[in-house]
Structure 1
Amino acid sequence: MQLVVGRIGRAHGIRGDVFVEVRTDEPELRLGPGAVLLTDPAATGPLTVESGKVHSGKLLIRFAGIKDRTAAEALRNTMLIAEVDPDERPEDEDEYYDHQLIGLDVVLTDGTPVGELTEVVHLPYQDLLTVKRPDGSEALVPFVSELVPEIDLENQRCVIDPPPGLIDLAEAELDGGPEQDR
């Protein structure tokens, strides 16, 4: 399984260092010294991380074979891709990789089918799960324990407990939501 773990930004200095926009929760594992990363576009890689450090709050990496600013600048906007064992799990039991969640059947707490989890949207304040309904419509469910009480990878299920109106707009109108208070 391949995961995008970063995007190369601008060059820094004259020795081939580049800033990397991190797109993984485990940069020390995926972008640490010795890590071999595939690239998109593929013509620029694979790249091996020689060293890395935090500089001005950003990750600064040097790749083996990239020895000057010109070579580093040529890598700008290249996506970095790590090979990950599909059975690998994050250390925390309540964390999941996106690829483990995509494709799960989404059901309500009573077992009623809702749809399929098609995407995990990462926002600064919280993650959202995109659920594709059987009618083709999509619903966004905040990925918080109150609304997503269970992820069952063994049975390929994501159990949700949405408030009225989150999944079915008709429920919001029937429950006398905020619109009736006006």
Structure 2
Amino acid sequence: MQLVVARIGRAHGIKGEVTVEVRTDEPELRLAPGAVLATDPAAKGPLTIETGRVHSGRLLLRFEGVTDRTGAEALRNILLIADVDPEELPEEEDEYYDHQLMDLDVVTKDGVEVGRITEISHLPSQDLFIVERPDGSEVMIPFVEAIVTEIDLEEQRAVIDPPPGLIDDRAEIASARDDEAAAEKTADETGDDS
């Protein structure tokens, strides 16, 4: 099975290094020196990582045969793809590979069917499940512990406890102003001058 593990960014310096947008929770394993990665587009690869280092919070890689800025710029926006055994599991207990989560049924903690995971979007702040509902519409569910309470790979389902308004249009909006207005209306109706 092939997984996208990074996207090559701009060139860094003049010796062939590039910045990369990491798309794996295991960069030390997938993007280590000596790793041979397929590419998208395929004609640009495979690429073998020669060196890697972190500079100002960004991962910099240099590939074998790429020795100058021109060569590095030619790699911009290429996706790096690693071959992964489909049976392999992440090291951490509560981590999952995208292929494990795809097509899981999503249900609320009360057992109400929400839909099926069709895509996982990796954003800088958090990951999102893109869930196709039975009516064909889509809903985005943040993949955070407070909302996704259980992933059951054997039952092929993800259990969620969504806040009001996340999966439906009937958001419960309450504010202190609404509470005060309700209290004033009650006081006016009862004639209470307190």
TM-score (norm 1): 0.87
SS at match of 1:80: strand
> Equivalent residue of 1:70, what SS?
helix
Report 1:116-155 matches (<5 A). Answer: 116-155=116-155
Matched, 1:23 2:23: yes
- For 2:174, the equivalent position in structure 1 comes to 178
Sequence identity percentage: 70
Q: Quick one: distance in 1 between partners of 2:146 and 2:58? A: 33
Counterpart for residue 38 of structure 1 = 38
Query: Once structures 1 and 2 are overlaid, which stretch shifts more, 101-110 or 120-129?
Result: 120-129
- What is the CA–CA distance in structure 1 between the aligned matches of 2:45 and 2:136, rounded to whole Å? 38
Q: Which runs of 5+ in 1 are unaligned?
A: none
What CA RMSD, in Å, does the superposition of the two structures yield over aligned residues?
Answer: 2.1
Kindly report which structure 2 residues correspond to 1:27-106, keeping only aligned pairs within 5 A, or say none.
27-106=27-106
Task: Give the CA deviation at 1:162.
Answer: 1.8
Task: Give the match's secondary structure for 1:149.
Answer: strand
State the shift of 1:30 in Å: 0.9
3-state SS, counterpart of residue 148 of structure 2: coil
Q: TM-score, normalised by structure 2?
A: 0.82
Q: Distance in 2 between matches of 1:6 and 1:28?
A: 12
Determine if contact 2:23/2:122 at 8 Å carries over to the other structure.
Answer: no
3-state SS, counterpart of residue 43 of structure 1: helix
Paired position in structure 2 for 1:115: 115
Q: Which runs of 5+ in 2 are unaligned?
A: 182-194
Q: Which has the greater radius of gyration? A: 2
**What residue identity is the alignment partner of 2:34?**
G
Aligned residue pair count:
178
Give the secondary structure class of the aligned counterpart of 2:80: strand
